[in-house]
Amino acid sequence: MRSVEWHDGNVRMIDQRLLPSTFQLVEYDDYRQVAQAIRTMVIRGAPAIGAAAAFGMALAAYQHPSRNRGETLNHLRAAAETLCAARPTAINLSWAVNRLLQRAEAESDPAAIPEALLAEAQALADEDVASNQRLGEHGAALIQEGDTILHHCNTGALATVDYGTALGVIRTAHEQGKRIHVLVDETRPRLQGARLTAWELKVLGVPFTLIADNAAGHFMRTGQVDLVLVGADRVAANGDVANKIGTYKLAVVAQANGIPFFSCVPTSTIDLSLPSGDDIPIEERPADEVTGLSFQGHSIAPEGIPAANPAFDVTPHRYITGIVTERGVIYPPFDISVRRVMEESLDEPAN
């Protein structure tokens, strides 16, 4: 099933906090609950939270039907603000919410707004799946028979509406019959790699090995990695990429060892309004995500200690070999090619 969908007038999603031990669906009948689900990572991953917020906007429209157009739009603007505030880094969230808001503003009959927003949210979700499948095809062409791929965080069906971005590339290569192996970073502190990516790869039957984040450099230096594939939460106009914390150091080590490093994103993750990654807001999450884990039944850290928990980092474009999108692979110079791919289809490297 999809990570998020409309079901009997509610927004239904997989509770990703419980995976891999429990597969449980949750349903919400209030857009504020959807915002809270995004904030608390019931659902996570840039495209998935964008789609969840889009369905949240449709829910908001159904919650407060009104014959007064101005009143309806004001209510939707308030809902948009609440949903956008849930998490700051992934551009897909505000991109989706703004698309839904514009759809509502284009509707002259307020009675037609709920249905129009549901259709728009559905279209956005369907487009995400189709984009990921095309992205998977473009990316799989970069993978050779016998390759070992290093992957960080979770970029699979769970992080999108379905199919996945970087993990979609891996899935396509696997389905094409290429013999590949994936090194899965556990991705502290929320362990999206260990909990979610490992679960998805196991279900798909893709050969993989889970590694501690700290082991990635060792595998790269000793020639055991052929390429690195990650997703992204926001790509700036110059090709700088914000992604799960730890991505930056992977990219630096990859370049130091001559290993290609690709970020895989639908174009909905590209934000041309920001000139560079320095402008991307980095989410700081609660300290207890770092300190609150236990190992062999015991807390991993002394009680009450301070901890910093930036959820994302920025990888400057000079460390990135290419950005895989549904429109093709974007190569340097990114300040030209990123802008160009937003305007036209691009199948050849930009020169």
Active site residues: 233
Angle between helices 91-105 and 46-63 (to 10 degrees): 30
Q: How far is the CB of 48 from ligand MRU (least distance, A)?
A: 7
Contact between 250 and ligand MRU per CB under 6 A: no
How many CA atoms lie less than 13 Å away from 22 in the CB half-sphere? Answer: 7
34 forms part of the interface with ligand MRU (CB under 6 A)? no
117 vs 198 by CB, closer to ligand MRU: 198
Q: Which of 216, 250, 311, 346 binds ligand MRU (CB under 6 A)?
A: 311
Distances (CA, A) of 310 to 178, 283, 319: 36, 6, 21
Residues 82-141 that bind ligand MRU (CB under 6 A): 90
**Of 172, 238, 243, 337, the one binding ligand MRU by CB under 6 A:** 243
Is residue 50 within the footprint of ligand MRU (CB under 6 A)? Answer: no
Q: Binding of ligand MRU at residue 232 (CB under 6 A)?
A: yes
Between 14 and 113, name the residue whose CB sits nearer to ligand MRU.
14
**What character string, x for contact with ligand MRU (CB under 6 A) and - otherwise, covers 172-201?**
--------------------x---------
Residue 11 or 52 having the CB closest to ligand MRU: 52
Stretch that binds ligand MRU, among 52-60, 212-220, 225-233, 321-329 (CB under 6 A): 225-233
Token pair, residue 149, equals 């791929």
Number of chain residues interacting with ligand MRU (CB under 6 A) = 17
Q: Is 231 in the site for ligand MRU (CB under 6 A)?
A: yes
Name the one range near ligand MRU by CB under 6 A: 7-15, 38-46, 118-126, 138-146. 38-46
Six token digits for residue 189: 């502190």
- Using CB under 6 A as the binding rule, the residues of this chain from 140 to 159 that contact ligand MRU are 153, 155, 159
DSSP string, 83-135: HHTT-SS-HHHHHHHHHHHHHHHT-S-GGGHHHHHHHHHHHHHHHHHHHHHHH
Comparing CB distances to ligand MRU, the nearer of 232 and 236 is: 232
- Rounded-to-integer distance, Cα 26 and Cα 248, Å: 34
Minimum distance of ligand MRU from residue 260's CB (angstroms): 18
Contacts of 30 (CB under 8 A, 6+ apart): 59, 63
Verify binding: residue 270, ligand MRU, rule CB under 6 A: no
Count other C-beta atoms under 10 Å from residue 129's C-beta.
Answer: 19
Binding residue for ligand MRU (CB under 6 A) from 5, 162, 200, 233? Answer: 233
State the residue for tokens 């700290």: 214
From the CB of 110, what's the least distance to ligand MRU, in Å?
A: 34
Give min distance, CB of 249 to ligand MRU, in A.
14
Please tell me whether residue 325 binds ligand MRU under the rule CB under 6 A. Answer: no
Kindly state the smallest distance separating residue 141's Cβ from ligand MRU, in Å: 19
19 binds ligand MRU (CB under 6 A): no
Contact, 79 vs 38, CB < 8 A? no
Q: Which residues lie below 8 Å from residue 98, measured CB to CB, with a gap of 6+?
A: 80
- Determine the 3-state secondary structure of 67 from DSSP: coil
Backbone angles phi, psi at 329, to 5 degrees: -95, 130
| Residue 46 near ligand MRU by CB under 6 A | yes
With beta carbons less than 8 A apart as the criterion, state whether 166 and 264 touch: yes
Paired residues of 248 in beta bridges: none
Question: Coil, strand, or helix at residue 338?
Answer: helix
CA 175 to chain centre: 22
User: CA-based angle 65:11:131, to the nearest 5?
Assistant: 110
Which stretches of the chain bind ligand MRU, using CB under 6 A? Answer: 44-47, 90, 153, 155, 159-160, 165, 192, 231-233, 243-244, 311
